[in-house]
Structure 1
Amino acid sequence: MSASASRGSAGAGATVVTSQKVLQGCEEDYKRWQEVMNRAVRGFDGFEATEQYPPATGGDNEWVVVFRFSRVDQLSAWLRSGTRQELLHEGRGLFEEEPAQEVLSGGAPADEREVVTAVISHQVRPGREQDFVRWQDKALKVQESYPGFMGSELFAPVEGIQDRWVVAFRFDTREHLDQWLKSDDREKLLREGREYFETYNMRHIGSSFSGWFRFGKGEQEGIPPNWKQAMAVLLALFPCVMVLNLTVGVALRDAGVPDYLGLFIGNLLSVGLLTWLLMPLVNGALAFWLLPRRARTLRVHIAGAALVMLCYALLLVLFALIT
């Protein structure tokens, strides 16, 4: 994704990022409550998808949920609806504090390579809006020099919904994001920016292979844990690489193509096959195990892992016989 700064409009897509600090010991009750919320939102005009992200290991017990709508007025109707207000009232006892939310109106569609995003909302000082925008442009130029940076979008306040400015920036790995967040350059920029904004809040959204785990509208109610993602990707990647190596790789070597170029061509083909053919097939076959809302019991977790391990063994035997 190329770096960009966007301003939303009423006719553009709209997203709300909600973060909720769940009380210790209330996780299962929260999951059931969130499922009711997710079912309710599907009945509203313009609803496109829900994504749910569990807390990072070792961090606060903060769950992030993303709701996507076609237009900001449709999102606003959901946020103000009696249905949502009633559900929020019912779930009040599950949280340490009132849930926080950031509304993103407009902006470019997410790049399929996107893996980790930081969403930061700012309470800008009155009359300093243009200074704040120029400061964000300056920050973007510095971010672009950091490894793994994939893009940034700036969202103006949404009238009638929220008065905060929101910036979302993306990196290819959590390590690269943390490198930027802990950098001296960012610390210097924050000191300068305090002149333009009063407070800010940050949320992390991310997953190691999230671009390969999108299950379709209304289905994406959580990204699989990293260990399941890694197992599923390996299940598709290993036979893909082996077949390409035995076919295209041999043909390229016989044609005298240099090894580095042959490797590049092989990687290009394998990534394309994974993204548009193999991973959708694996996702469909293993949805019962990958989707958090389906894999609720230990029995399902074990059965899915055992099935993947069995597939590994069969593939190893097959290619041992072939080669």
Structure 2
Amino acid sequence: MGAGASRDLGGVGGDNATVVTSQRVRPGRDDDYRRWQEKTNQVVREFDGFEGTELYPPTPGEANEWVVVFRFSRVDQLTAWLESSARRELLDEGRPLFDGSPTQEILAGGTPARDVVTAVISHEVRPGRERDFMRWQDKVLAEQEKQSGFMGSELFKPVQGVQDRWVVVFRYDTREHLDRWLDSEARKKLLEEGRQYFSAYDVRKIASAFSGWFRFGEGADKGIPPNWKQAMSVVLALYPTVMILNLTVGHDLDELGVPGYVGLFIGNVLSVSVLTWLLMPLVNRAFAFWLVPDRANSLRVHVVGAALVALCWLVFIVVFGLTTG
């Protein structure tokens, strides 16, 4: 409960093994780090059991700490990657990019968690206090169940021969509800009680899934909208983009005989590019009163903004219905 990485991690599958690695990148080395991480991704794809990886950039206004998630089918396959000479060589190559040593939490098993905000918490439990720690975690869970937006919690015991820390994963429906719990007086009191059972913990926060499309000012920590607002805004920009591309580029590709799977890839590249560099900045400016957390501070603003977005949806549906029907 005391530490971890908060972000939608896309789920920890039932028999899967996941490692969450955090590393602070030196100032000015972000591009070098991205290239190094892409090289790492290419290497890890060759290992048995590899299922996927995600890279999460730092939250605006916080330390330049990047988080990478690697997923494998089983713990032994994940361990083979972590202990491989290929990974050691990559870490040696990337060491000049890092400010301090990377940290990692390993999750073995668990249940899927999608479209939520997740916190991954690791603890160094004092020897002989494991049962007390588990009873304390039951008290934490009982308190969390009273909180708005709480969606569940899991406790992961140490993985023998790989990791000696205990890891707790808990999920909330929005970043606002997660932050409210992390800053609550109830949690602070529980932390004070829990310090007799664990000796150390870390806290790392990560932005949410669409955060790259929601930036409000350079160098300003204005926060990121909750997931439901991000999703509504992305649909607002994505729907007309996909429709227009299908009616123009998609039609031309069909006439040229381009295979459907290639046409779909081209369409995805174009739609993501249009959203990233054109439409999402426009949506951000138009709906800043509703998206920027420190501006949307009343129920009326939340309702009005959501209603306007829904109205725009309806307008697009009617327009495309009339023009394509």
Q: 1:113 aligns with which of 101, 112, 115?
A: 115
Residues 118-133 of structure 1: matches in 2 within 5 Å? 118-133=119-134
Evaluate the alpha carbon distance shift between residue 124 and residue 307 of structure 1 in structure 2; reply closer, same or farther with a 3 A threshold.
closer
CA drift at 1:55: 0.5
CA drift at 1:236: 5.4
Q: Is the 8 A contact 1:286 1:304 kept in 2?
A: no
Evaluate the alpha carbon distance shift between residue 27 and residue 193 of structure 1 in structure 2; reply closer, same or farther with a 3 A threshold.
same
Q: 2:70 aligns with which of 45, 55, 67?
A: 67
Evaluate the alpha carbon distance shift between residue 230 and residue 98 of structure 1 in structure 2; reply closer, same or farther with a 3 A threshold.
farther
Q: Secondary structure at the match of 2:202?
A: strand
TM-score normalised per structure 1: 0.68
CA drift at 1:35: 0.4
CA drift at 1:206: 4.8
Q: Is the 8 A contact 2:237 2:280 kept in 1?
A: no
Q: Distance in 2 between matches of 1:86 and 1:196?
A: 37
What's the % identity of the aligned pairs?
Answer: 57
Q: Distance in 2 between matches of 1:102 and 1:82?
A: 20
Kindly provide the amino acid, as one letter, of the partner of residue 286 in structure 1.
Answer: N
Structure 2 spans left out of the alignment, 5+ residues: 1-13, 216-229, 242-263, 285-311
Evaluate the alpha carbon distance shift between residue 103 and residue 283 of structure 1 in structure 2; reply closer, same or farther with a 3 A threshold.
farther
TM-score normalised per structure 2: 0.67
CA drift at 1:202: 2.5
User: Hey, what does 1:250 align to over in structure 2?
Assistant: none
Q: Secondary structure at the match of 1:75?
A: helix
CA drift at 1:207: 1.6
Q: Is the 8 A contact 2:58 2:207 kept in 1?
A: no
User: Hey, what does 1:261 align to over in structure 2?
Assistant: none
CA drift at 1:13: 1.1
Q: Does 1:37 align with 2:12?
A: no
Q: Secondary structure at the match of 1:232?
A: helix
Evaluate the alpha carbon distance shift between residue 300 and residue 141 of structure 1 in structure 2; reply closer, same or farther with a 3 A threshold.
closer
User: Hey, what does 2:55 align to over in structure 1?
Assistant: 52
CA drift at 1:180: 0.2
User: Hey, what does 1:181 align to over in structure 2?
Assistant: 182
User: Hey, what does 1:100 align to over in structure 2?
Assistant: 103
Q: Is the 8 A contact 2:155 2:167 kept in 1?
A: yes
Residues 1-323 of structure 1: matches in 2 within 5 Å? 12-110=15-113, 112-114=114-116, 116-207=117-208, 225-226=213-214, 231-235=233-237, 285-287=267-269, 290=272, 301-302=276-277, 315=316, 318=319
Q: Distance in 2 between matches of 1:308 and 1:183?
A: 33
Q: Distance in 2 between matches of 1:151 and 1:306?
A: 34
Q: Is the 8 A contact 2:154 2:168 kept in 1?
A: yes
Q: Secondary structure at the match of 2:28?
A: coil
Q: Distance in 2 between matches of 1:302 and 1:289?
A: 10
Evaluate the alpha carbon distance shift between residue 208 and residue 37 of structure 1 in structure 2; reply closer, same or farther with a 3 A threshold.
closer
Q: Is the 8 A contact 1:46 1:69 kept in 2?
A: yes
Q: Is the 8 A contact 2:57 2:207 kept in 1?
A: no
Q: Distance in 1 between matches of 2:240 and 2:136?
A: 46
Q: Distance in 2 between matches of 1:167 and 1:306?
A: 36
Evaluate the alpha carbon distance shift between residue 179 and residue 52 of structure 1 in structure 2; reply closer, same or farther with a 3 A threshold.
same
CA drift at 1:36: 0.6
CA drift at 1:235: 3.7
Evaluate the alpha carbon distance shift between residue 317 and residue 107 of structure 1 in structure 2; reply closer, same or farther with a 3 A threshold.
closer
Kindly provide the amino acid, as one letter, of the partner of residue 130 in structure 1.
Answer: R
Q: Distance in 2 between matches of 1:90 and 1:191?
A: 41
Q: Distance in 2 between matches of 1:158 and 1:284?
A: 43
Q: Is the 8 A contact 1:22 1:95 kept in 2?
A: yes
Evaluate the alpha carbon distance shift between residue 308 and residue 173 of structure 1 in structure 2; reply closer, same or farther with a 3 A threshold.
closer
CA drift at 1:318: 1.6
Report how many residues are paired.
247
Kindly provide the amino acid, as one letter, of the partner of residue 95 in structure 2.
Answer: R
Kindly provide the amino acid, as one letter, of the partner of residue 302 in structure 1.
Answer: W
RMSD, aligned CA: 3.4
CA drift at 1:108: 1.2
Q: Is the 8 A contact 1:53 1:63 kept in 2?
A: yes
Q: Secondary structure at the match of 2:124?
A: strand
Q: Is the 8 A contact 1:289 1:304 kept in 2?
A: no
CA drift at 1:233: 1.8
